[in-house]
Structure 1
């Protein structure tokens, strides 16, 4: 924010510190999240260094420091930085547009396994997608075993090709990241952003995909809950069929709407 206020975020810094203390108390249980812990510690450290404290924030700062957080602080590369410092990609607009046009919904795949390390690369790329407050309230559930056809048959619209899908990816949203009803749709926004990035990444790795609409029908919600063993706060956002594309398989032609119909300057 410009200009930066001398004191800010007082409405939710208490809740942030409470959540942070829980995470610090679990330090060592999940070493894969060490970098994430360093990031949130560094952001909080910079916050307390920046503000002009009051009684409330001074008490929270003391809790933060008593948690032994100093060992996690890494202000180099973990806090806000200048846009000018970003290393620019060499991908041109024309190349990016070409990738977008290359990605088309594919329903016919080769009968070949899909390497998990390749799928992981696509997920890693998808995790760079924007997410409100960086909560990333979703998970990619990858099914590449005998349950593929059964799970692929739960949503509507797959009856003609569900038996030809090597891998099903279910994007599952988690509502436990939120406390307010105003955020109830964020899982769908963030999950969709990550899903698009995932599908584009697949194309660069020699794989194809087909996004599968998730119907808002209670019977099918219950079936997916059971198939994926979802918790009460988890919701299916969408599914995607993934595999090595069959070069002889047909792709439905889709003429996209012209710019003049889809863009309007207010």
Structure 2
């Protein structure tokens, strides 16, 4: 009796202490790998490039553009692109796109003064640029072409499946799902997610041994994903949690993309502490700058299986109207 009462009293303190340790671990990783550091490192510089050139893309997309608007961002992008030295092994993906966006902007923007002159001088000598980036003309018909005829059927038929058929998942099908999930929005279009895919029994079992929600079916998972986000993409104190936000959004898009292609999936949470995170990194070669967001079991569902009912709260319990109806 006394022992159980003590446990009830101590348990909240125990959680607080472990939470503090987790906060310290997360902070140490942000200090070590976050994008707040100097941008000489090529991946940090690449993320910095997209953060800036996306400002120019937004400027190019506005119906009404103010005179001289965007030139400050153009100057900032130029400084990032000029940091690449000849010794660097080529421009990053976003740096190449940045050159193209900078060229589009300079061709249509007015003013700019000395910044415009320096941009033109840079563009005369640069050779490597992408065919992607900037803005495209879009029509309402194209937007509505993606409208689902029966969205309730699509969303309500998606369940967390824990009963998979034996056999590998074709990698091309997985790549197709990830390509669809790449349409996920992200802060300043940084796309800082990264997926680690495991298809062999030994690798899957070693990873799942450290995850606490796969008992009873983990040994039959044919494909396991570890979804992560790159800390190097986030460079301000206000973005210290953004890797979890963007990574979580990508994970949900991927689950829906898999469902659209006939694949079943089940999220396997990674609400673990520093000790387990370090242990996972010892058995799976995860980039030190990548934060683990979640795991996901993927496969073809069995012909017949059971799923959790997973009752959903009423809409009124999650929705608050802040304005009176018009």
User: What is the aligned counterpart of 2:150 among 52, 70, 95?
Assistant: 95
Count of residues paired in the alignment: 257
Contact preservation (8 Å) 2:230, 2:289 = yes
Q: Does 1:59 align with 2:115?
A: no
Corresponding residue for 1:239?
295
**Going by fraction, where is helix more abundant, 1 or 2?**
2
> Could you say which structure has the larger radius of gyration?
2
- Is the partner of 2:306 in helix, strand or coil? coil
Corresponding residue for 2:16?
none
Quote how far apart the aligned CAs of 1:123 are: 0.5
User: What is the aligned counterpart of 2:237 among 181, 188, 191?
Assistant: 181
Quote how far apart the aligned CAs of 1:252 are: 0.6
Corresponding residue for 1:165?
221
Unaligned 5+ runs, structure 1: none
Corresponding residue for 1:68?
127
Q: Does 1:132 align with 2:181?
A: no
What's the TM-score, normalizing by structure 1? 0.84
- Is the partner of 1:140 in helix, strand or coil? strand
Corresponding residue for 2:139?
84
Using the alignment, how far apart are the partners of 2:149 and 2:126 within structure 1? 50
- Is the partner of 1:147 in helix, strand or coil? helix
- Is the partner of 1:136 in helix, strand or coil? coil
Using the alignment, how far apart are the partners of 2:272 and 2:71 within structure 1? 38
Counterparts in 2 of 1:261 and 1:82: CA distance versus 1, 3 Å: farther
Quote how far apart the aligned CAs of 1:155 are: 2.3
Using the alignment, how far apart are the partners of 1:158 and 1:13 within structure 2? 49
Quote how far apart the aligned CAs of 1:127 are: 0.6
Quote how far apart the aligned CAs of 1:250 are: 1.3
- Answer with 227-236 or 134-143: which moved more: 227-236
Using the alignment, how far apart are the partners of 1:150 and 1:231 within structure 2? 17
Counterparts in 2 of 1:79 and 1:91: CA distance versus 1, 3 Å: closer
Quote how far apart the aligned CAs of 1:23 are: 9.5
Counterparts in 2 of 1:8 and 1:97: CA distance versus 1, 3 Å: same
Counterparts in 2 of 1:65 and 1:97: CA distance versus 1, 3 Å: farther
Counterparts in 2 of 1:109 and 1:261: CA distance versus 1, 3 Å: same
